[in-house]
């Protein structure tokens, strides 16, 4: 088989390779982009490297059977994914309004995949091909593998394995279990007998339930009891460790969902191999007429150097999908990819990122976990860094320096998230200084998320003193090299635990830090996270104590408006929030006040605000 070509997307492509059929068909809710930032590309290239013939059906029309018949019946089975993100998140805002664009569709066009894409695709495949093996994977399937709260339906849905009618779920990153499944099917094994592969979920009759492992509350119990749902979520999170994690069972009526232990992460050598496969590194030319696929723009000249995140914020899905155990590619592998980027069309000297889930993690958080796994029910960095934490940036800094020295590379940026609290634990500030000098594109984005200790504890984030310490050092180092660079903090409203009092505390923090957020983020309850369990149950899964949750659109609007108290359009909401919270002291004309009294001329306020906003944006644009 030739290298440097896309995998077949049509019968014509298949025939041109001399094939009379394919071993597997991969159905994806995304447009076909052959780049290692896209899960479909990694899994299909890994299958190809293992010797299998793979055809890709991207964004089939789920209303037409012939969209799923491109290659005919595959010899061994179907792999199905919604794409890089959950299809409901792709389609709807946190306000449950339809999005206007889809970054993973040609031309950014909406409507090319269905809601709940994995379920819809699997049901259509089952209708056409009967009992052919179907394996589901990717983020949507991985995060919905147990009974889960669904924000869009506002109810508990069963495991996606039952809703879809698939045979197996491949959860997590998937490379190892995918090849093992393929090999066993190729050896003639019945899909129903493949029940022992790590990183997979399967279903059996309750009477055939394995004795090993731990059982979490059943689907019926979590539907009827929020406390039981919270307990279920805690068990699932606690066993998500490839060293000490146990088999988890969850009853659904007469059937038992069984999750095997997580698959071991890829080693450095295995990661290097995955990222050396012959990706085309762009979208399929069939999309050229539509203007391409927007999702490639952020990653085309970026490099992923690690996987996993021991930060494990409660609202983030990474820990439940990739895991908390950090693994990394070798320096040689990263340099080879950087050199490859310099030879690509469109490369202008800028590598946009050398990162991953968390850019500055190059090792496990401590040495204990190498043998015992990550601690159950504890955070490595929050609320305070663990005493066993090992913080070092020597290897990462060495890689960045080497990439900077490559011919044709003008600048290397870091855009995929820096854990500033981890940086502060490193006694050597060499990385901090070079980050400021060489790797910031006018502004550095970090994620304190809030300032209230109560809210940050519910988020699983460090307290705000860490951000303040980082901010002070950042601006000192920036000033010392004669640059004017900005620090842009991501902040979130309405996370479980955030009361109106906490929202006002955040507004005061924004005032005191002289921040001016142009966009604000409402908490979005996505499947499979601790924060989503808190949102639904109003309980902390680890303590079972009550948690306040702002759920009504108006309560959310009050918290969101306070984050932009300076915007005249938010005046009435901010006024209402301050009055409701008994904080009229913040309504007035002194510097500490958030808004002026109502009798002030709002038109003049609006005019001054717009002038200041335009001036700020022009200044930032010029500096960037």
* Closest C-alpha among 146, 98, 107, 112 to residue 28: 112
The verdict on whether omega for the bond into residue 383 sits within 30 degrees of 0, i.e. cis, is yes
* Closest C-alpha among 293, 305, 531 to residue 417: 305
pLDDT digits (tens, 9 = 90+) for 62-88: 999 999 999 999 999 999 999 999 999
Q: Reduced to 3 states, what is the DSSP secondary structure of residue 155? A: strand
Per DSSP bridges, beta strands 155-157 and 200-205 are unpaired
Instruction: Kindly state the tokens that stand for 235.
Output: 């068990």
Q: Are 170 and 136 in contact (CB under 8 A)?
A: yes
The whole-angstrom separation of Cα 292 and Cα 105 is 8
Mean pLDDT value of segment 116-121: 98
Per DSSP bridges, beta strands 306-307 and 327-328 are antiparallel
Phi, psi of 303 (to 5 degrees): -125, 130
Q: Are 166 and 114 in contact (CB under 8 A)?
A: no
Find where tokens 């001036």 sit: 615
Residue 513 has pLDDT above 60, yes or no: yes
Q: Are 373 and 243 in contact (CB under 8 A)?
A: yes
pTM for this model (two decimals): 0.93
* Closest C-alpha among 333, 389, 330 to residue 364: 389
Q: Is 212 left (phi over 0), alpha (psi -120 to 50) or beta?
A: beta
The whole-angstrom separation of Cα 476 and Cα 470 is 10
The whole-angstrom separation of Cα 120 and Cα 125 is 9
Per DSSP bridges, beta strands 521-522 and 486-493 are parallel
pLDDT digits (tens, 9 = 90+) for 142-186: 999 999 999 999 999 999 999 999 999 999 999 999 999 999 999
Which DSSP string do the residues of 421-448 spell out, in sequence order?
Answer: HHHHH-S--HHHHHHHHHS-SSEEEEEE
Find where tokens 């779920």 sit: 169
Q: Are 175 and 274 in contact (CB under 8 A)?
A: yes
Instruction: Kindly state the tokens that stand for 117.
Output: 């894409």
Residue 3 has pLDDT above 60, yes or no: no
Mean pLDDT of all residues in the chain?
95
Residue 2 has pLDDT above 70, yes or no: no
Phi, psi of 97 (to 5 degrees): -95, 150
Binned at pLDDT 50, 70 and 90, residue 1 comes out as very low
pLDDT digits (tens, 9 = 90+) for 529-572: 999 999 999 999 999 999 999 999 999 999 999 999 999 999 99
Residue 94 has pLDDT above 80, yes or no: yes
Q: Are 464 and 451 in contact (CB under 8 A)?
A: yes
Furthest C-alpha separation in the chain: 80
Tally Cβ neighbours within 10 Å of residue 184. Answer: 17
Contacts of 465 (CB under 8 A, 6+ apart): none
Binned at pLDDT 50, 70 and 90, residue 140 comes out as very high
User: 51: number of CA atoms within 13 Å, CB side?
Assistant: 4
228: which DSSP letter? Answer: H
Mean pLDDT value of segment 326-344: 98
452: which DSSP letter? Answer: -
* Closest C-alpha among 496, 560, 460, 558 to residue 149: 496
- Return the percentage of the chain with pLDDT > 70, whole number: 96
Mean pLDDT value of segment 313-319: 95
Q: Reduced to 3 states, what is the DSSP secondary structure of residue 260? A: coil
Mean pLDDT value of segment 322-333: 97
The whole-angstrom separation of Cα 563 and Cα 515 is 10
Instruction: Kindly state the tokens that stand for 121.
Output: 């695709």
Residue 367 has pLDDT above 50, yes or no: yes
Tally Cβ neighbours within 10 Å of residue 581. Answer: 16
Radius of gyration of the chain (CA): 25
Per DSSP bridges, beta strands 168-170 and 134-136 are parallel
The whole-angstrom separation of Cα 76 and Cα 132 is 8
Provide the pLDDT for residue 607.
61
Mean pLDDT value of segment 316-323: 94
Provide the pLDDT for residue 355.
95
Whole-angstrom distance between the N-terminal and C-terminal Cα of the chain? 45
Provide the pLDDT for residue 622.
61
Provide the pLDDT for residue 624.
53
Whether the CA torsion 298, 303, 306, 310 is positive or negative: it is negative
Residue 222 has pLDDT above 60, yes or no: yes
Mean pLDDT value of segment 26-45: 97
Contacts of 500 (CB under 8 A, 6+ apart): 555, 558, 559, 577, 580, 581
The whole-angstrom separation of Cα 535 and Cα 601 is 40
Provide the pLDDT for residue 416.
79
Residue 402 has pLDDT above 70, yes or no: yes
Strand partners, 54: 24
Q: Are 228 and 541 in contact (CB under 8 A)?
A: no
Question: H helices within 353-496, ranges in order?
Answer: 369-372, 394-404, 420-425, 430-438, 453-459, 464-480
> What domains can you pick out in the chain, each with its CATH number?
11-199 (3.40.50.280), 301-441 (3.30.750.210), 446-519+552-624 (no CATH)
Q: Reduced to 3 states, what is the DSSP secondary structure of residue 373? A: coil
User: 12: number of CA atoms within 13 Å, CB side?
Assistant: 0
Helix-helix angle 175-186:39-49, to 10 degrees: 40
Residue 601 has pLDDT above 90, yes or no: no
């Amino acid at each position: 088989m030739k290298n440097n070509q896309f995998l077949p997307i049509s019968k014509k492509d298949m025939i041109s390779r001399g094939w009379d059929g394919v071993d597997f068909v991969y159905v994806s809710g995304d447009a076909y982009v052959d780049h290692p930032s896209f899960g479909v590309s990694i899994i299909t290239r890994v299958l190809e490297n293992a010797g299998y013939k793979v055809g890709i059906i991207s964004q089939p029309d789920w209303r037409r059977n012939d969209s799923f018949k491109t290659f005919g019946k595959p010899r061994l089975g179907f792999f199905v994914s919604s794409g890089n993100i959950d299809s409901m998140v792709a389609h709807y805002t946190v306000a449950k309004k339809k999005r206007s664009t889809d970054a993973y569709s040609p031309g950014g066009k909406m409507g090319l995949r269905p809601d709940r894409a994995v379920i819809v695709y699997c049901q259509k495949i089952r209708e056409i091909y009967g009992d052919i093996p179907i394996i589901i994977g990717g983020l949507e399937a991985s995060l919905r593998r147990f009974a889960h709260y669904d924000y869009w339906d506002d109810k508990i849905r069963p495991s996606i394995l039952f809703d879809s009618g698939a045979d197996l779920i491949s959860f997590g990153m998937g490379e190892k279990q995918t090849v093992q499944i393929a090999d066993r099917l190729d050896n003639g094994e019945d899909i129903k007998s493949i029940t022992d592969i790590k990183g997979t979920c399967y279903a059996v009759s309750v009477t055939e339930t394995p004795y090993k492992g731990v059982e979490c509350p059943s689907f019926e119990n979590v539907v009827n009891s929020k406390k039981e749902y919270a307990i279920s979520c805690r068990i699932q999170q606690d066993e998500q460790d490839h060293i000490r994690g146990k088999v988890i069972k969850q009853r659904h009526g007469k059937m038992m969902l069984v999750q095997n232990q997580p698959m071991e992460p890829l080693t450095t050598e295995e990661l290097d191999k995955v990222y050396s496969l012959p990706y085309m590194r762009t979208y399929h030319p069939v999309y050229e007429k539509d203007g391409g696929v927007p999702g490639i723009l952020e990653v085309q000249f970026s490099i992923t150097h690690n996987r996993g995140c021991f930060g494990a914020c409660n609202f983030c899905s990474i820990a439940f999908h990739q895991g908390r155990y950090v693994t990394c590619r070798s320096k040689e592998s990263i340099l080879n990819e950087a050199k490859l980027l310099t030879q690509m069309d469109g490369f202008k000297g800028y590598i946009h990122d050398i990162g991953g889930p968390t850019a500055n993690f190059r090792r496990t958080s401590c040495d204990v976990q190498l043998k015992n796994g990550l601690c159950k029910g504890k955070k490595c960095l929050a609320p305070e860094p663990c005493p066993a934490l090992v913080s070092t940036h020597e290897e990462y800094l060495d890689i960045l320096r080497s990439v900077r020295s490559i011919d044709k590379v003008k600048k290397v940026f870091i855009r995929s998230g820096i854990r500033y609290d981890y940086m502060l634990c490193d006694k050597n500030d060499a990385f901090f200084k070079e980050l400021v000098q060489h790797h910031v594109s006018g502004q550095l984005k970090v994620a304190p998320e809030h300032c209230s200790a109560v809210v940050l504890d519910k988020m699983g984030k460090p307290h705000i003193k860490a951000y303040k310490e980082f901010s002070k050092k950042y601006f000192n180092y920036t000033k010392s090299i004669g640059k004017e660079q900005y620090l842009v903090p991501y902040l979130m409203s309405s996370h479980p635990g955030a009361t109106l009092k906490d929202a006002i505390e955040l507004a005061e923090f924004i005032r005191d830090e002289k921040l001016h957020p142009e966009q604000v983020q409402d908490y979005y309850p996505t499947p499979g996270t601790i924060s989503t369990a808190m949102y639904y149950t109003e309980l902390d899964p680890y303590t079972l104590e009550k948690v306040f949750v702002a759920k009504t659109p108006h309560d959310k609007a009050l918290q969101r408006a306070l984050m932009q108290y300076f915007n005249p359009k938010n005046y009435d909401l901010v006024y209402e929030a301050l009055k409701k919270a008994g904080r009229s002291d913040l309504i007035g004309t002194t510097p500490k006040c958030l808004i002026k009294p109502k009798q002030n001329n709002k038109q003049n306020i609006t005019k001054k605000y717009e002038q200041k906003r335009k001036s700020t944006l022009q200044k930032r644009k010029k500096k960037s």
